[in-house]
Each structure stands twice: as structure tokens, then as C-alpha cells.
């Protein structure tokens, strides 16, 4: 995320220089647009996994309040599966673009002509990291749900050898009635 912030600041400085050089100093510039785009592509794709780790991407939660807890969990799993599939496809296509640009020595058609493997590699690496992050979150969510379902089905309130606070086992140990029950 820090590197993404640095790249974003660098892109803004490049574009500011471009405006000043072109309109104030009357100097032609031809490299600034592509360099800013490369920096922004790197920022966007390389920071995507870090944002996903915080579940910071934009999501529509209007439906979540209408669904039951179980239906909402299923919705989240379905969204994660579809997101992982899309990101995996995007990563694969980005790696093929990178490979073609590298092998064929493709360059931009501008007068500056930077190699195109640079933005393609940033896209490929970023989407691969995002796919892995979504897969990790999906696996973590499924295993924690399975553990919770197992505890619920066996009636066990023990977690890691200790009763869960507020559980029936905790109530027995502390000689208090579970919440919602009368003595």
C-alpha cells in the first residue's frame, strides 16, 4: 500500500509537471501521459489485494439486511467464488499479455515508446495477488463456518479447550443461567 501511495503521488507530480510545462512554459511533453498511466495501473492492481484483505472494496449491502444470517453467509460465499473466478481469469489473460509483450518486444506507439510488458506485468501480478487473497478469505470463511457448524451440531461450546463466554458451558462453570433462560 505504501508503494501504491508513492506511485500515486508520483503520477500526480508527473501530470502537474505536464500541465505547467505545456501551458505555462510552452514546452511539448510526450512521455507524461503514459508514465502516469503506468503508475496508476501499478497502483490500482498492486493495491487491490491489500484492499481486499480489509474487505475495503465497494459492495452493495442493501440485500444483506433483507436476508437471514444463513442466506447472507451463502451470498458471501457465492460472491467470493465468482470474484475469485473472475480475478483468476483476468490474471491468466494478463499473464498471456505480458508473455506476448515480452516475447514480441512490444512497445507503445508513442514517440517515447516504453515497453508494454511493464503495465502488463503490473496487471498480472496484481490480479494474481488479488485472486490469492480472495481464495484465502474464502478458505478461511469456509473453515470457520464448518467449525462453527460442527460446534453447533454437537452442542459443544468449547473453543480451543475453554468455554466460550456467554455459552451454556460457561454458564455451568460460573453457576449462572444462560441468557434468555429463567431460573
Place of cell 431460573: 183
User: Does the pLDDT of residue 36 top 70, yes or no?
Assistant: yes
How does pLDDT run across 145-169, given as a tens digit for each residue? 666 666 666 655 444 444 444 444 3
- Calculate the dihedral angle through the C-alpha atoms of 23, 24, 28, 34, rounding to the nearest 10 degrees: -70
Give the pLDDT band of residue 75 (cuts 50, 70, 90): confident
Cell numbers standing for residue 167: 455459552
C-alpha pair distances (Å), 45 with each of 40, 107, 132, 158, 181:
9, 21, 13, 42, 52
Cell numbers standing for residue 54: 480489509
Phi-psi region of 175 (alpha: psi -120 to 50; beta: other; left: phi over 0): left
Of 103, 102, 128, nearest to 116 by C-alpha is 102
User: Does the pLDDT of residue 174 top 50, yes or no?
Assistant: no
How does pLDDT run across 90-115, given as a tens digit for each residue? 999 999 999 999 999 999 998 889 99
* CA–CA gap between residue 72 and residue 127 (Å, rounded): 26
Amino acid at each position: 500500500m505504501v508503494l501504491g501511495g508513492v506511485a500515486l503521488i508520483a503520477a500526480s507530480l508527473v501530470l502537474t509537471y505536464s500541465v505547467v510545462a505545456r501551458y505555462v512554459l510552452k514546452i511539448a511533453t510526450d512521455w507524461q501521459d503514459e508514465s502516469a498511466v503506468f503508475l496508476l495501473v501499478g497502483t490500482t492492481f498492486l493495491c487491490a489485494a491489500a484492499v481486499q484483505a480489509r474487505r475495503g472494496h465497494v459492495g452493495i449491502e442493501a440485500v444483506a439486511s433483507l436476508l437471514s444470517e444463513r442466506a447472507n453467509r451463502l451470498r458471501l460465499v457465492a460472491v467470493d467464488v465468482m470474484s475469485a473466478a473472475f480475478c483468476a481469469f483476468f490474471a491468466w489473460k494478463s499473464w498471456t499479455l505480458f508473455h506476448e509483450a515480452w516475447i514480441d518486444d512490444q512497445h507503445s506507439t508513442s514517440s517515447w515508446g516504453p515497453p508494454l510488458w511493464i503495465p502488463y506485468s503490473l496487471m498480472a501480478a496484481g490480479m494474481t495477488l488479488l485472486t490469492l487473497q480472495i481464495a484465502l478469505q474464502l478458505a478461511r470463511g469456509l473453515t470457520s463456518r464448518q467449525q462453527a457448524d460442527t460446534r453447533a451440531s454437537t452442542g459443544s461450546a468449547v473453543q480451543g479447550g475453554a468455554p466460550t463466554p456467554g455459552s451454556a458451558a460457561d454458564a455451568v462453570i460460573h453457576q449462572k443461567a444462560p441468557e434468555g433462560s429463567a431460573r
